[in-house]
Structure formats: structure tokens, C-alpha cells
Chains A and B, each alone.
Chain A
Amino acid sequence: MKPRRLPTALLFLAPNLLGFLVFTLVPVGLSLAGSFTNWSLRPAVPLHFAGWDNYARLFQDRDFYFYLYNTFYLMLALPFSIAGALLLAVLLHGRFSFARPRRAPVLAAASAAIALGSAAVLALTGSPNLAYVVGALGLIAALGIRFGPVAYRTVFYLPYFTAGAATIILWSQLYNPNFGLINQGLRHLAAFGGWHVAGPGWLTSTRSLLGFLPWPAHFNNGGFGLGAREAIMLMGVWGAVGGNNMILFLAGLANVPPELHEAAEIDGAGAWARFRHVTWPQLAPTTFFVVVISVIGGLQGGFEQARLMTFGGPAGATTTLSYYIYQQGFERLDLGYGSAIAWVLFVLVFGLTLLQWRHGARDGTD
């Protein structure tokens, strides 16, 4: 850059730089310094240097280990989210169409009319929940007939730009063990087979699919089953499958040279072989990026769900490290300790990301 242009460049960068300094760098620095003090929101507690006390306390804090375990446990949903996003992207990448362009509007209108009519009949005959499902599915089908894959891309991306709090509250209603749509549906399905099932406890249960915990003295897992952690994981997968990961994979798929597919096809490769040997290797950089971002998000995640759905319960089963930081800082007013947890979380995130870069980047570009 020419020297005379530097002031102009700095002037343009100044708002961002100032914002970064004031709202990011200074607070981050303060929290690092604060983690070595007894920083409290109680003014009666005089601030003093505490050395490594907060970190020593943290490593003896059994709650911390349990919440770390919860954080990692919730991350078990990440492979499913990523695989789901990839699958969806592959399905939506094709330029399929359900009808000839000239007939599409008519067919779409007919599909919408049938869907709305069926929903109205179901609602009037006392099945409002089924009416919602049938109506929604029919309308989505109509959109697909009219606009093709673009309609589905939009529909699947909807959860991502819908307000998080609204979807979380909606899911907490779905998970209600007594009145929720999910357990009601399971009970109806089981009734067809002549069985009686109560349905999982979902957000009310400490059960988990691992069925054991390494800390039996203080925490209990409630045994094998579907509990609050699985409920949050399912919701996370639902939100993530059609989110940014799908968009990234779609962009990656658009960059795969079509000649490679054509060559493979000429060589007699089927759809799976083309995906396995052409698409998948070509998507390696995208997959690597998605995995890194997802792992970082997973380690930092769980706050909104805990705050809005479960308040970290039952019995701490859905408290993750990010919610524990909040609890320590703003419920126990112990900002020093909260900062120490935040920095340990940072080291974890940084370490894991470094590990992924060292191994994943090489594999991804090989």
C-alpha cells in the first residue's frame, strides 16, 4: 500500500478497530486479569490478587467436570448434524423438477388446495395437530413443485434465521412428557401396535444413552434412556441440518468440476461411487472448515437451551460450561471464578482447534 493511502485506510478501519478494542480486546484482557483475582460483584469484597487460586479451585470443582462432560456429551450430536447437512446439500444440489415449467403453477395450486382442504377436514374432525402437519407438508410440496430446489433450500434454512428463543420455547412444549406432541405421537403409534408406552421423560429426565456416569457419588444418570441431554441434541440437529453447514456444502458442491463426474460416469461409476470417489474428496476443505467451526460452536454452546428450556436441570444434566460461566458470574456474582472457567474453556477450544489443524488440514488437502 502506498504510504499516503495509509491514513485513509486507517480512517476507514477505525470504527471496526475501535469497536474491537473497546468491546472485545479490553474485556478479554480484563477477564484474563480478573481470573487471577477474587473479582466479585459484591462491593463489600475487596479486590485482591488471588494468583492461581481460581484455577486450583476449578480443578477440584466436581461440578466443573460434570458440566465439561455434559458439554462433550452434547457434542456427540455434531457428526449427525454435519452428515445431515451434507446429505441435504447433496439432495438439494440437483436441478430436479417435479413438473414441466408450464404445468408447475397449476400443479402447485392443486397441491396447496388439497393440503389445505385435508387440513380443514382433519381440524373439523377433531385432529388439529395432524391438520397442522398435513397442511404444512402439503404447502411445502406445493412450493417445491412451483419453485424447485430453491423452495426447499429456503424451507430448510428457516430454523436458522428464526429467533432462537422462539424455537426453543416451541421445542420445550413439544417435549412436555404429558401433553407434548412428541410423546402424544409416540403413544398413538404404540397404540396401533397394541402397546402402551409412556414415552421418554425428555427435558424432565436425567437418563442418557450412555447410561452411566463416572461420578456416581454426586450426579446420577438415571440409567439408560432418552433424557434432557438427548432432547437438546435432537433439537440441535434439527436446527443445524438446514443451517449454515448446508449452505457451505452447497457452495462446495457448486465448485466440484462437472467434468470429474462425467469422467467417472463414463468409467461406469454409479451414484454412490461418484459421491465416494469424486464429491467427497472434493468437499474435503469444506468439510474440514465445517468440522472446525462446529466443534468450536459445540464447546461454547448450550447456553440458550439451558437458560430458556431447563435452567441447567434436571439435576444439572443440561448445564454446559458456557451456562456454568454465567451462573458463576451473574448468579453467584463471582466474576473471577467465572473468568477462570472461561479461560479454561478457551484453552480447550484452542487446543482442539490446533489439533484439528495439525491433522485435519493435512488430511483435508491430501
Chain B
Amino acid sequence: MRALIAGLLAFLLILSGVARLLRPSRLPPGVTPLVWASSKNPYRYGQIDYFNATHPGLRLRLDGGNADFQRIIVQTCSGVGPDVFDVLKGSYLQAYVEAGVAWDLTAAAAADGIAADRDAWPAVHNEITYEGRQYGYPAGVGCFLILYNKNVFDRRGVPYPTDGMTWEEFLQRLTRVSGVLPDGSRIWGTNAVDYAGTAPAAFFWKAVFYSRHGEFFSPDGTRPTIDTPDLRVALQLHQDAIVRYRVLPRTVDVGAGTGQGGWGNPATTQFAEGHYATIVSGKFALASLRGFVEMQKRDLARWEADPARQRTEPRPEVLRLGVARLPHASGRPFACVALSQTVVINPASPHRAQALAFLRFLASDAYAQRVESYGIPGNPRLARTDYPVTDPELAEHEITRCEVESLRDGYQTRKSPFLLDFDVDRALDAQVARLEADPSLDCGRLLAEAQGELEAMLRLNLSRDPRLAAEYHRRIGAGALTSNP
């Protein structure tokens, strides 16, 4: 037994020695470490290397697996959070501000060339500010577009989607490209699943809702406006796309699927493989599609060099991407919601002042050049459509044009201090999941339930926070608390 314990101790000592050897080297004196909790976008590493090379006093490091909402909250509240982190939705920013883990940059931003009203796209103003205060700066912005696989449309002889279509026209066209192939595999018309939160969530209904310039709150933010004609139409069209047109899979069908692995939305790679004729996505999809197209090109080159394979296998296809702006609501002008990957500074970070240099970098031309191959920079003055492209099949300049035009018409939904947009998302996602699980349910009834649930939640929030209750009274007048909602 003694020998065993001694052996174990010796083994642990050896492991400690190995761990010590593998430990990252200490930073030189005077260099400040910064940790950025973000996604493992393959372009991120080049951006970080460039930042470190041009900022010798700072050493930025990517924390790629810790950008989840819950992890950021828990880590930051317990004092071990990252210095800067990404926020992918305005509703999350609101939750971070409410949780006290987002630093108010308003004063610093104005003096630093990263001001929301001057140095960022107007359409994402509400994605980087909350209640009039600025909390971040975008690492990238965008709008949802229709990306389509030209190969799928060409095979069926169906015209490509175009700018200016209505939703009904778009869905009608998709019915001609979707269906079951002779080999039993299925091609869906479109895919609209979001992975920005903790769960895959269908957002086809949201794209329709935003195209009607929909709002989740009353203008003064005191009431959720869920049970409305705009949302009813949006949910009905979502249901129709699944049941009547049969061009949209349910969320769980997509959530259970896989892509090629690695970074990115699995639905994007399934689209590239031809399982979907179109995908509701943005220019950011290029970050994963580029790698996929290069893989397809290599496969094609191998096929062309192998006569035996040519006799037994059809010619492998390389994705040819097309793009159109989102359809619009019938009889209404084009509208869409603008998106931002907002970088926020942790107020508890001992390096928060130095982290401002990183946000300044995000607003610079050098960063814009590094982001333009897959995204749109946060500074509108730096968005270009004349940069050299690597893969002509990916229609990069066309996508950029669509993004820029959509961003000009884009808007941000209202936020309310009394109810997190985050909770609205959750309540509506749950009802959409119910609708997808049982299409016989009535959309109006589901929305009425969500309305009731959110009103109850708002009342609960007011009862738990006297500060909120006072503000609520101020906005609607004393005594109205019981009647509205």
C-alpha cells in the first residue's frame, strides 16, 4: 500500500511538472492582458493577432467557449468574468445591463470615436444603447437576407428569388423547389433558425413580423403588445409555411440536425449541402460558407483528376450563392430589423479603461478591412463594396449591397425597462414551439396566452422592484397600475 501511495504521489508530482511546463508564458512587464468572450469565428484569430501587433501594451486573448448568457452573468457576478464580451441581441444587452455586468460607456464613447449616434449605423443604435445610455460598440452589423443556392433553383428550372417579393410570392416560389428527391432525401424551401441564444429558435415568424414594422411594446414601454394583428399574421404565415406550403421545417427538425462541425450555425452548412433551397441569414454566413465552398472545390478537383470516379459518380457541385433582400409585407414598404454583434466591457474588469482601446479598434479602418470578407463593420463610413473577393461563387459584393440597403431601411424594436425583451422572446418562442408541435392550435389563442403571461410577469417585476414601480407610475400616472396591464 505504501508503494502504491508513493507511486501515486510521484505520478501527481510529474503531472504538476508537466502542467508547469505547459503553462502559458507570463506577459512581459507593462503589457495588460484582455480576455474577449466571443464566438470561435475563424476570422477572429487574425483580428486578434492584428490588434496585438498594433497595440504592444495590450495582449488580447479569445475565450471562445464562454460567451453564453448564463456563463457571462455568473462569471462576471463572481468576479472572474471576461474583460470584454459579445452581445448578439439587444434583448440580451438589456438583460446584461439589468444584471449590472455591462459598463456604461456613454461619456467615454463620445470622446473616443465610438459614439452610438455618430460612429455606428443608426439602425443598430438600440442594439448598443439601453434607456439612452451606450454600453457597447458593434464588432459587426447586418440584416437578415434571403441567401439562395442557385444549383437547387437551376435543377428545378425555377427563377431565383428577387428583391421586392411579398412573403406569399416567396413561399409560392419555394413550393416549386422543395420536396422529396428520388433518393428519399428532402429539400426544404427555406430555413430560419437562430442559435444566438441558448436554444435553437425559429425566427421565420419574426422576419415576417419585422417586415410589418412590428413592435413588442407600447410606445411608452408600459405594456407588452403581443396579441396584435401584426403578430397574428406573422404566426399564421409561419404555420402556413410549415403546414400549407410545406417549405419550412419545424425548429426541432433543424435543431436535431448537424452540419459539417466546427464554428457556425449547422443550418448554414446544411443549406450549402443543398438540403435547403434558401436560408434566412446574413453576410456573417460567409464565414462558414467560405470554408465549405473551398472544401467542395477540392472535392471537384479530385473528381476531375480521377477518371474512374468520373464514370461512377456525378460531378460534385460547388455552391453558387445568390442573394435577395427579405420579402416585404403585402401593401407595405420594406422593413427589417437590424442586427449587431455588440462588444461590451465588463464593469468589474480591472482593465476596463484599457479595453476601450479595443472598442476604438473595432471602429477603425484596419478592422473594417479584416471584417469585410464576411461582415459589415459597425462604422457606416467604412462599409465598402469594391474590395477584392476570394470566392466569386459567394456573391460577396451583392450580399454587401443588400446588407447596406437593408441597414438603411432597418429598425430596432422598442425596449421596456419593466419587462425584458428577453422574456418576450422566451414567451413567444414557447408559443411558437407549441404551434409547431400542434398546428391545429389557434394563433390568436396562443398570442392571447403569451400576452397574459407577459402582463403577469410585468406585474411581478413591478411588485419586486420599487424603483421600477415608481418609474411605471410616472409614465402612466398613479393608480393605473392595476388597470394597465
Contact = CB atoms under 8 A, between A and B. Distances in A.
Contacts of B83: none
B253 A178 contact: yes
Contact of A331 (B70, B255, B434): B70
Given A179-B257, A220-B438, A310-B252, A333 B99 contact: yes
Interface residues of A, number: 37
Interface stretch (B114-122, B143-151, B336-344, B460-468): B460-468
Interface stretch (A18-26, A114-122, A135-143, A201-209): A201-209
B328 interface: no
A314 B433 contact: yes
B199 interface: yes
14 contacts: A42-B98, A44-B98, A44-B100, A44-B467, A57-B460, A179-B257, A204-B252, A204-B437, A220-B437, A220-B441, A222-B438, A313-B433, A315-B434, A332-B423
A316 B449 CA distance: 15
B380 to A, nearest CB: 33
A330 B255 CA distance: 22
Interface string B240-252: 0000000000111
Contacts of B74: 41, 330
Interface-centre pick from A41, A316, A330, A332 (highest chain B CB count, 10 A): A41
Given A46-B465, A204-B252, A315-B434, 8 more contacts: A41-B74, A41-B99, A42-B99, A178-B253, A222-B437, A311-B200, A330-B70, A330-B74
A331 B426 contact: yes
B25 interface: no
Contacts of A219: 434
A204 B256 contact: yes
B86 interface: no
Nearest to A38: B464
B256 A176 contact: yes
A41 to B, nearest CB: 5
Contacts of B70: 330-331
B460 to A, nearest CB: 8
B100 A43 contact: yes
A306 B251 CA distance: 15
Contacts of B199: 311-313
B434 A220 contact: yes
Contacts of B441: 220
Nearest to B186: A178
Interface string A161-184: 000000000001101111110000
Contacts of A204: 250, 252-253, 256, 437
Contacts of B434: 206, 219-220, 314-315
Interface-centre pick from A175, A204, A220 (highest chain B CB count, 10 A): A204
Nearest to B429: A313
A45 interface: yes
Interface string A42-59: 111110000000000100
Given A38-B464, A310-B252, A311-B198, A205 B257 contact: no
Interface in B415-454: 423, 426, 430, 433-434, 436-438, 441, 449
Contacts of B255: 311
B256 A172 contact: yes
Nearest to A221: B438
Interface in B87-126: 95, 98-100
A232 B118 CA distance: 52
A206 B437 CA distance: 6
* Chain A binding surface, main DSSP class: loop
A191 B293 CA distance: 37
Contacts of A312: 199
A362 interface: no
Contact of A177 (B253, B436, B460): B253
Interface in A201-234: 203-206, 218-220, 222
Interface string A313-343: 1111100000000000011110000000000
A342 B198 CA distance: 22
Contacts of A314: 251-252, 433-434, 436-437
Contacts of B430: 315-316
A222 B423 CA distance: 26
A172 B426 CA distance: 23
Nearest to B432: A315
B256 A203 contact: yes
Interface in B251-272: 251-253, 255-258
A315 B433 contact: yes
A252 to B, nearest CB: 28
Contacts of A310: 252
Contacts of B8: none
A219 B434 CA distance: 8
Interface-centre pick from B256, B434, B460 (highest chain A CB count, 10 A): B256
Nearest to A219: B434
A305 interface: no
Given A38-B464, A42-B98, A179-B257, A331 B198 contact: yes
Nearest to A202: B256
A40 interface: yes
A44 B465 contact: yes
A220 B437 CA distance: 9
Contacts of B12: none
Contacts of A218: 449
A177 B88 CA distance: 30
Nearest to A204: B252
A81 B250 CA distance: 32
Interface string A271-311: 00000000000000000000000000000000000000011
A360 B100 CA distance: 51
B73 A333 contact: yes
B75 to A, nearest CB: 12
B13 interface: no
B14 interface: no
A226 to B, nearest CB: 14
Given A173-B258, A218-B449, A330-B73, A46 B200 contact: no
A31 to B, nearest CB: 15
Nearest to A176: B256
A11 B441 CA distance: 64
Nearest to A333: B99
B9 interface: no
B366 interface: no
B437 A315 contact: yes
A41 B73 contact: yes
Contacts of B31: none
B100 A42 contact: yes
A323 to B, nearest CB: 11
